[in-house]
Each structure stands twice: as C-alpha cells, then as structure tokens.
Structure 1
Amino acid sequence: MSRGFLAMVLLMLGGGAMLLVAIGSRTHRVIITRRVEMIAAAHVDTLRAGPLPRITRFLRMADEFISAVFSFRKSHDWGTRSHSPILLAIGLLGGAGAWLVTRTMLGLPGWIAVPLTIMAFLTGPHLKLSMEQAKTEALFTDRFPNAIDSIIRMLRAGLPISAAIRAVATEPSPPVDAVFRVIADQMDIGVPLDVALAAAGQRIDLPDFRFFTVAVALQHATGGNLTTTLEILSDIIRKRRAMRLKAKAVTAEVRMTSYILASIPLVIVAGLLAINPNYLAPLISDPRGNVIVVIAVGSLATGFLTMRQMMRHATRI
C-alpha cells in the first residue's frame, strides 16, 4: 500500500467524520426546532405538521444503532452526552491510527493489524462513553446529599414529598436535577411515587440513590418519620464519600508506582530507538519479532488494566 493511497484514505475518513458530525448536529437542531414549533402552535391541528422527513428518521435510527454498538457491555448510560457522529469520528480516527501504526509503520501482517484496528475502532468511543458516565456518576454522588438536605428542609416545612421532589428538580444542580425531574414528570402524569422511584433507581443504578428510593418508598407506603430516615441516609452517604476519598489518598503512592512501572518499558524502547534504531529492526522485519511485539504489548496492557482494576476495587466503598 503506497503512502499516497493511505493519505487519501485518511483524508476521506476524516472528511466523512466531519460530514457526519455536521449532519448529526443539523438533525438535532431540526428535531428541536420542530418540537418548539409544535409546542408554540398547540392550537393548530397537529396533522398539518406531517411526519418527520425520511432522512431525519433514517439519521435517528442510525444514531440509535451507532450508540448501541459503542455502548456494548454497558448496563446503563444515562450520564453520557456524546452523540453518534462524535463517537463515529473518534472510532474512525482510532482505527485509522491503529492501521497506520500496525500495518504501515510496523509492517505487521494483516491477521494481526486488522483485529487491532477493529479493536481500536470500538475501544475509543467506548472509553469516551465510560469516562463521561463515570464523571457524571461522581458528580451525582457529590451533589446528592445536598439534594437530600433540601428535601428534609421542605418536609419539615410541611410540604409533601412530591412537592419536595419537584422543587429539587427545579434547582440548577446537574445531574441531580435531571434525575428528579424525570421522577416529578412521571408523577405528574399519574405514575405512583413508588413505581417512579423504582424505575429511577433501576435506571441510575447507584447504591446511594437506591437507598434513597427504597427508604422513601417504604416510608411513603407504611408511614413514619421520613425526615429522620433521610437525615441518617444523608449522613451515611457523606461518611462513605469521606472513606472513598481517604482510600484514594492512601493508595495514591501505589497508583503512581503502577503508572511508573507501566511506562518504563515504553521509555526504554524510545531510548533504544533514539540511540540505535537498527537494534529493534528484527522486531519489525522478522515475523517472529512481530509475534514478540504483540505479546509484549498485550502483556503491558493486561498488567496495566489489572493494576487499575485492583485500585478501583480498593477505593470502591
């Protein structure tokens, strides 16, 4: 494969990704505009608006399909914000970069380069969604006790729990306000409180929020002092958060050591390439060297992921 042809392929992939991003953003603007117009003209017969254009329906289905592909093995994705064009662009860039490194630069055979390219194409967007979800969950856990305190103050003032949930939903405290807004909207259309809380707990799938939904549902069904229960729950959530931060501080040295150990082989390889580039040439030109490279990279990745998973288990409280 010539360099000119490879450059042309990369340019086509980049242009296609940019085009998908532009089309996707325009599609979302069109959908939002149509919804605003339908709300503003509620007195007009809705049949006059007609169905959405075929291209809009197709792009919406493509958006859902691409998001489902990149969200494989994710039990929940309520905290993700990236749309499918962005995910597709990340996947194309990751796949093109993996192919450029494995096939063009290292000259690895196709049976090695193709699986690595597919893995890079799928892994990049998946990591993007996972980081967004983790960031949203951490922000929710940090702000959730304040929302519970707001509910406690409203209950002491004599407001019902439904009004307290609606008030929390109107406070500008994302992502907590969005979660409570869904619960309040479901209650407004007649969904019982326990059913709305159970659905929200299953969708959010965070231990602290599940404790809250179970406590509120039980107290609402059987009666009792909900204020005291929520005060205890808020105190427990804050103590668990303090323990998590303490565990992260204790394991900070271990985590830094693992990062240094994982980077040492890369630094050594970079130094050898700078001092004597021909020293590592057999790893690229010899098929046996290709196998050694794949095994070495796989071992480094496995060790790094194992240490990272151990650190996560140590700080998961």
Structure 2
Amino acid sequence: MDQMTLMFVVGGATLLVSLALVFALAGDDGHGRDMKRRLAEISEGQKPSNPTKARHSARRKQDTSGFKILDNIIRALIPKPEQLKIRLEKTGYKITISRYATFTGILILLIIGAGHYLYGLPMFLAIPTGLAAGLFLPHVTIGFLGKRRINKFMKTFPEAIELLCRGLRAGLPISEAIVTVGNDAPDPVGKEFRGVANAMRIGQSLEQGLWDVARRIDIPDFKFLIIAISIQRETGGNLAETLGGLANTLRKRRQIKLKIKAMSSEARASAWIIGSLPFIMFFLLWLANDSYVLTLINDPRGMYMIGAGLTMISFGVGVMAKMVRFEI
C-alpha cells in the first residue's frame, strides 16, 4: 500500500505541475483580450445573420449518432455543445459530438476498470480517478490537435495572401483568386479556401463562406482578411495593396515570434528543468533507498511538506512560463 500511495503522490504532483505549466503558457494578457474584444466588435457588423444561422441549425440537426436515447443523454450532459462542436471542427477531422462523447465514456470505463481490477484501487478512488482522467485526456488531445492545425495554417497563410494578391493584380475577380489559392496552396490553407470556393458554387456569399472558416480558424489574422475583403466590397479601394500589407505584417509578426522564442529558450528550458528536478531526485532516491523516501510519505508531517513544496513549485513554474510568453 506504501507503493500505491507513492504512485498517487508522484502522479498527482506531476499532473499538478503540468497543469500549472499548461495554463500559464495558454494564458492571455490584457493586450490580447482587448485586441480580441475590439476585433469582435468590428466583425459583428460584418457577419451575416439569418442565412448562416439557418445553415448552422441544419448542421446541428445532422450532428447526431442515430440513437435518440444516446443523443438525449449527450445533450443533457454537455452544457455547451456548440462550443464543443467548434473545438472539434478546429482539429480538421470529422469528429462529431456523439463520437467524442462515446469515446470519452468508453475511456472513463476503461480507466475505472483498470484501476480497480489491475491495480486494486477501491471504487471510491477508481471512479473519481477515471472521471478526471477520462475527461481530461480527450479535452487536452482535442486542444492539441486544434492548436497544431492552426499553427500549420499560419505558417503558409502569408504566402496564400500573396498568391491572392497576385491573382487580383492579374485581373482576376476575388472569387476566382480564392479558387486559385484553394488549388495551389498547401493544406490546411488550401482545404479551407477550397471549402469557401465550393460554398460559393452552391450560392453562398463570399463573406458567409469566410466566416464559416473563421469558426474553425479562430485567429485575429484571418478575421482581418475577412474584414478587409468586406470593406473593399462595400466601399471600394485597392484590395491587392491592402492584402499585400497584411501579408507583410503577418510575415514580420512571425519573424518576431521566432526571434522571441529563440531568445527565451534558455528561460523555458530552466523552467522545465527546475520543475522536473524534484520529481527526478525523488524517483532516484526511491530506487536507491525506498525506506528513506517512504518516511516522508508515512509521516503526516511529510505530507504537509510535500503539499507545500508542490504549491511553491507550481507557482514558480507558472511565473517563469508567464515571463517568457509575449503577445505580438
């Protein structure tokens, strides 16, 4: 039972520090929130209302598993299905809410069964452990896949805008230029622009197709492109010059981000080393002399010391992570 307690302490400590590091790296500062708020205020006047809502409602009706009982359970357990659907769409895979919920439920049952039957955990510990791990792992995986796809999109997005500008300077209309980008640009940029071209072929407007993409590519840079195209179609102007300036700005922002990442690499490495060093030493000491280490766990005073140490490590890792993160 001592080894089981040790496993819980080390696993819980690792999870706590990892969560602190993830939330610190994923945090947003005031400048980023203000920029997103101002961009949302501007884009509200550009978004189409009724046709898009009708299409989205039709898509929601089709997002079912085919089993009415299962769909009712999913709708009852998921508080915000629309936000979850957007997160799933950001991955680029055809993952429906019903499939995600089914996989999560199966994973929870597997973890509970493994904890109870393989590791001998009592049910009052296996059930909360299975719920926490079964809900956390799919959520983190979906977030990782979505972030990876957005980063891949941003790598070739400035070149796609340049290709769009060359088509406009050659005399092509914006709709034909978008078709050219969809055919020539690499995925996922080409895939998203091909989706816009296909939507226009069935009667959807250009702005509606672009805003549908913005739901999956939720970044301010893409919304700037939509707003620039919408304003040019309403008021006129040199769209090629405007998009060329946008592409140049995006390319310079990416260069600055890479430079900051290189300059802060030492601090980030220090954060990882300092955060993981106590757990590495604990494991090595346990291999060398387990009775010496287990004294810290068996003694109630040692548990308080472990809790205080984990708290300080979490705060330290979070502060260092925030120090090396900049909003460009």
TM, length-normalised to structure 1 = 0.66
Q: Which residue of the partner structure matches residue 141 of structure 1?
A: 154
Instruction: Report the more deviating stretch, 143-152 or 90-99.
Output: 90-99
Per mean C-alpha deviation after superposition, the further-off stretch among 214-223 and 73-82 is 73-82
Contact kept, 8 Å, 2:90 with 2:149, in 1: the verdict is yes
Partner of 1:78: 89
Kept after mapping to 2: 8 A contact 1:99/1:117: no
Listed one character per residue, the Cα deviations across residues 247-285 of structure 1 (whole Å, up to 9, x for unaligned) are 101110000000010111112211221222112324554
Identity of aligned residues (%): 31
> 1:304 offset after TM fit, Å?
3.8
Whether 2:260 is the aligned partner of 1:265: answer no
**Paired residues for 1:1-317 under 5 Å:** 57=67, 61=71, 76-80=87-91, 81=93, 84=100, 104=121, 110=124, 115-171=128-184, 173-285=186-298, 293=306, 296-297=309-310, 300-301=313-314, 303-305=316-318, 307-311=320-324, 313-314=325-326, 316-317=327-328
1:132 maps to amino acid = L
Amino acid at match of 2:270: T
Taking a change above 3 Å as real, the CA distance of residues 125 and 70 of structure 1, as seen in their structure-2 partners, is farther
User: Number of residue pairs matched?
Assistant: 260
Secondary structure, counterpart of 1:245 in structure 2: helix
* Cα distance between partner residues in 2 of 1:60 and 1:218: 45
CA contact (8 A) 1:95 1:121 kept: no
Give the distance between the partners of 1:64 and 1:184, measured in 2 at CA. Answer: 34
Q: 1:218 corresponds to which letter in structure 2? A: I
User: Which letter maps to 1:78?
Assistant: E
Deviations 1:178-198 (A, max 9, x none): 221232222222222233333
Distance 2:71 2:242 in 1: 44
The structure having more radius of gyration, on CA atoms, is 1
Deviation at 1:200, TM superposition (A): 2.9
Range that drifts further, 255-264 or 88-97: 88-97
Cα 1:168/1:253, change in 2 over 3 Å: same
| Unaligned ranges ≥5, structure 1 | 2-51
Deviation at 1:239, TM superposition (A): 0.3
Given that 2:65 and 2:71 are in contact with CA atoms closer than 8 Å, whether structure 1 keeps it comes out as no
**Unaligned 5+ runs, structure 2:** 2-61
Kept after mapping to 1: 8 A contact 2:108/2:131: no
Alpha-carbon distance between aligned partners in 2 of 1:180 and 1:136, rounded to the nearest angstrom: 15
SS at match of 1:281: helix
* 2:172 partner SS: coil
Q: In structure 2, do the counterparts of structure 1 residues 55 and 229 end up closer, same or farther at CA, with 3 Å as the change threshold?
A: closer
Structure 1 stretches of 4+ moved >3 Å: 54-77, 81-104, 113-117, 282-311
- Residue in structure 2 matched with residue 16 of structure 1 by the alignment: none
Q: 1:90 to 1:66 in 2, by over 3 A?
A: farther
TM-score, with structure 2 as normaliser: 0.64
Q: CA deviation at 1:93?
A: 6.3
Seen in structure 2, the aligned counterparts of structure 1 residues 160 and 173 have a Cα distance that, compared at 3 Å, is: same
Amino acid corresponding to residue 171 of structure 1 in structure 2: D
Structure 1 residues 268 and 245: alpha-carbon distance in aligned structure 2, compared to 1, 3 A threshold: same
Higher relative contact order (CA 8 A, sep 6+): 2
- How far the C-alpha of 1:169 sits from its partner, in A, is 2.0
Q: After superposition, give the CA deviation of every residue in 1:159-206 in whole Å (9 maximum; x if it has no partner).
A: 110111122223361111222123222222222223333343344211
The answer on whether the counterparts of 2:104 and 2:134 sit within 8 Å (CA) in structure 1 is no
Contact 1:78 1:204 in 2 (8 A): no
Q: CA contact under 8 A between 1:91 and 1:125: conserved in structure 2?
A: no
> SS where residue 134 of structure 2 aligns?
helix
C-alpha distance in 1, partners of 2:119/2:263?
39
SS at match of 1:194: helix
Counterpart secondary structure, 1:183: helix
